[in-house]
Amino acid sequence: MKDDPRLTPLVAALPATVPFVGPEAQERALGRPFAARIGANESVFGPSPKAIRAMQEAAAEAWKYPDSHSHELREALAAHHRIDPGHILVGEGIDGLLGLLVRLTVTEGTPVVTSDGAYPTFNYHVAGFGGVLHKVAYTADHEDPERLIARGRDVGARLIYLTNPDNPMGTWHDGPTVARTIAQVPEGSLLVLDEAYIDCAPEGTAPPLDPEDTRVIRMRTFSKAYGLAGARVGYAIGPKPLIAAFDRVRNHFGMTRMGQAGALAALKDQTYLRETALKIAAARDRIAEIGKANGLSPIPSAANFVALDCGGEGALARAVLTGLVSRGVFVRMPFVAPQDRCIRVSCGTEADLAAFAAALPEALAAARAEMG
């Protein structure tokens, strides 16, 4: 298909590839539904029943446009974090917020630093606005804050991206390490601290919030431990001038009423969130056990998934993944070596993990046979 001649030169030069193929698209290709949906780091434990009820009630009011300020949710988040609401922007998931942040700060040729193999949707947005990505290798399966900062300084990066806990490996740094990293952000750079998985991590993984600090913007989401991936609600915490700048470019009426109501109710049910975190921790242990029982090495994780080292090159892990998918178990894997020696398994229900445990030995045997 020939490009439309009216595209901007930047867009015309972008690849047609997309960051992720969703499970529904894979199911359509397979011709049947997955038996276990444990590949997209969703929360199979679901959101608080109160959040579901709130969304159901909001559905009856769906004829109204959403509040363009997400006022109630923003006020509740501000109270929850004990900060001023002017430091918070609610948006259509971290994906949407990352896109806007890149638009605000990156233009053609702007240098940006990330880790090689970290969240591809961030890279997608940087490329989409013409930024130049500089990638730093992981160190022992961890994103490496010191090297990220050093590279940021070297290239004069506008943005330096760090996920904590990391996706796709699940590894994490403690709060003091992240606080030191923030303190080292070079003048003119902004640390994008993606804390999508923070609610699954041990106490103390997040450094204290200091929203006046102009060196960092923090991203949080209701898609992971809160269990609301389908409602598209994330938020950014940062210095007021930066948060206010989003209002110049964002889709002001882009949130849904159901998402706003669901997130508000989920936020208010912290008991449910804590219970979910316990279920996530138990599921992580179970995934690690299943992996070990099959000769795979689990990478310690503070997220809602576990990377299992298949003990070979990327080709072996890819073959294992293919075997699992063809057996109805949806999992994913890191894109980049050496992390791509792993498969990545999201926390599941007991039934999900039983399906995984049943499929894994066959998938492994087939993959090993294929590798010779």
Shortest Å distance, C-beta 248 to its own copies: 4
> Could you tell me the two tokens for 347?
């926390």
> Could you tell me the two tokens for 319?
């073959």
Residue 265 near residue 50 (C-beta atoms within 8 A): yes
Q: Is 257 in the site for its own copies (CB under 8 A)?
A: yes
Q: Is 315 in the site for its own copies (CB under 8 A)?
A: no
Q: Is 223 in the site for its own copies (CB under 8 A)?
A: yes
Q: Is 357 in the site for its own copies (CB under 8 A)?
A: no
Binding residues for its own copies, total number by CB under 8 A: 91
Q: Is 28 in the site for its own copies (CB under 8 A)?
A: yes
Q: Is 214 in the site for its own copies (CB under 8 A)?
A: yes
Q: Which is nearer to its own copies, 142 or 335 (CB)?
A: 335
Q: Is 278 in the site for its own copies (CB under 8 A)?
A: no
Q: Which is nearer to its own copies, 92 or 141 (CB)?
A: 92
Sign (positive/negative) of CA torsion 269, 271, 272, 277?
positive
Contact with its own copies (CB under 8 A) among 79, 146, 202, 253: 253
Q: Is 247 in the site for its own copies (CB under 8 A)?
A: yes
Q: Which is nearer to its own copies, 56 or 139 (CB)?
A: 56
Q: Is 248 in the site for its own copies (CB under 8 A)?
A: yes
| 291-315 b/e (C-beta count within 10 Å ≥ 16 → b) | beebebebbebbbbbbbbbbeeebe
Residues in contact with its own copies, shown as a per-residue x/- string from 186 to 205 under the rule CB under 8 A: --xxx---------------
Residue 192 near residue 217 (C-beta atoms within 8 A): yes
DSSP code for 129 = T
Contact with its own copies (CB under 8 A) among 2, 32, 140, 271: 2
> Could you tell me the two tokens for 297?
């090495």
Residue 307 near residue 343 (C-beta atoms within 8 A): yes
Shortest Å distance, C-beta 370 to its own copies: 30
Q: Which is nearer to its own copies, 103 or 135 (CB)?
A: 103
Contact with its own copies (CB under 8 A) among 38, 47, 343, 347: 47
Shortest Å distance, C-beta 341 to its own copies: 26
In the window 64-123, what residues touch its own copies (CB under 8 A)?
Answer: 64-69, 71, 92-93, 95-96, 99, 103-107, 110
> Could you tell me the two tokens for 189?
């750079």
Q: How many residues does the chain have?
A: 372
Locate all alpha helices (DSSP H) within the chain, ordered by sequence.
9-12, 23-30, 49-59, 71-81, 93-105, 120-128, 145-155, 175-183, 240-245, 257-268, 270-293, 314-326, 350-371
Shortest Å distance, C-beta 282 to its own copies: 17
Shortest Å distance, C-beta 367 to its own copies: 27
> Could you tell me the two tokens for 359?
């499929």
Q: Is 6 in the site for its own copies (CB under 8 A)?
A: yes
Shortest Å distance, C-beta 86 to its own copies: 9
CA dihedral 65, 67, 69, 71 (to 10 degrees): -160
Shortest Å distance, C-beta 131 to its own copies: 10
**173/169 Cα distance (integer angstroms):** 12
3-state secondary structure 150-208: HHHHHHCCCEEEEECCCCCCCCCCCHHHHHHHHHCCCCCCEEEEECCCHHHCCCCCCCC
In the window 117-176, what residues touch its own copies (CB under 8 A)?
Answer: 128, 158
Q: Is 312 in the site for its own copies (CB under 8 A)?
A: no
Contact with its own copies (CB under 8 A) among 165, 168, 207, 227: 227
Distance of CA 216 to the CA centre of its chain: 18
